[in-house]
Structure 1
Amino acid sequence: MRRVLLPLSLLVLAGCAAPATEPEVTFYADGRVVNVKPTQYCDVQSENCDVDPAAVGVLRVRPGKPVQISVPGELADSAWSVKFTYRDGRGQPQEPLRSKLFTERDPRYAYTLVLPNPDDQLESVEVQQYGARIETSTTGAFDFVARGTWVLSVDDRV
């Protein structure tokens, strides 16, 4: 009897283990929502990465409208920021901008991206989670290496 119960109990325990999944980020604009998987997700040392270039989300965002971003706890409890590209009202590309850095000291589960001017058009958004690895740039500055990247491509048709 003991031989039957042991394998059965191991099978039950193995079946209860939660599958490892990559976190999703939610983007919301103009009454529409999209959940996005990471285009890149690595271990905490920013190595051993899974890459999925097709994981890009798409939302229609009108000029000057905000995008709300929600992140799960595993991002909120780490270092992350939002990088975005946009064009001004005349259609001229502007330098990419970045939100402040959010950290585990003050967890942030949501961020509202508001463009500098009301007629600016958003082009893309990247949520970047930083890992433990730090690299020195060519200027001598220290840069954290992204562990995970979630990308939103903006459909700007009116």
Structure 2
Amino acid sequence: MKRVVAVLTVVAVLSAAATAALIWQLTRHHEPQLPEISAYSRGVATVVGPYQYCQVLDLNACRAPGVQGELRVGDRDPVQLSVPSAIAKAPWRLLRVYGDPVDTTQTVYRPESRFAVTIPTVDPQRGRLTGIAVQLLTLVQDQTGEVFELPHAEWSVRMVWD
């Protein structure tokens, strides 16, 4: 009887050690997954991670993968942009860039007000859409006390025209 109890104890200890080692192995290099946006047009979607992603309270602590998505577009079909709740639960800004890079429009969405936006690929005044960017905003204060918005995270999609 003592022998059975001893064998069961050894098996239990080895099982616990193996489980702990497996959990450690699976989580030791695991970085949190960064949010992704998706853009869809003409039956094709592209999913894009952030171009840059900084900590909200420290804009110098950033990860900059430099990822820019591409989406093939034409005159007729709009772009359908979707953002996950990780973005939509905060104030976020949509930038739309047209033929002239100086000609950029922006819209700021309040928290949890928009998870998707339809964007025409041609604007009658501005021309063809060349890119979009989604930004998460942080309020910062400079040395003079002026408060303004800066993006702490940005996702970017470039339009490729057929």
- With the length of structure 1 as denominator, give the TM-score of the two structures: 0.75
Structure 1 position 3, deviation (Å): 5.2
Structure 1 residues 149 and 93, CA, compared in 2 at 3 Å: closer, same or farther?
A: closer
RMSD: 3.0
Query: CA–CA distance in 2 between the matches of 1:56 and 1:6?
Result: 44
Aligned partner of 1:123 in structure 2 is 130
Amino acid at match of 2:61: N
Once the two structures are superposed, what CA deviation does each residue of 1:16-69 show, in whole Å capped at 9, x if it has no partner? 76751111110111221100111101112233101122x111112223642111
Decide which structure has greater helix share: 2
Flag structure 1 segments of 5+ consecutive residues without an equivalent: none
Decide which structure has greater strand share: 2
Aligned partner of 1:134 in structure 2 is 140
Query: CA–CA distance in 1 between the matches of 2:143 and 2:39?
Result: 31
> Relative contact order (C-alpha < 8 Å, sep 6+): which is higher?
1
Asked whether 1:113 is paired with 2:125, we answer: no
Equivalent of residue 28 in structure 1, options 40, 65, 71: 40
- With the length of structure 2 as denominator, give the TM-score of the two structures: 0.74
Q: How many residues align?
A: 148
Amino acid at match of 2:44: R
Asked whether 1:10 is paired with 2:13, we answer: no
Flag structure 2 segments of 5+ consecutive residues without an equivalent: 1-9
SS at 2:60 equivalent: coil
Structure 1 residues 134 and 56, CA, compared in 2 at 3 Å: closer, same or farther?
A: same
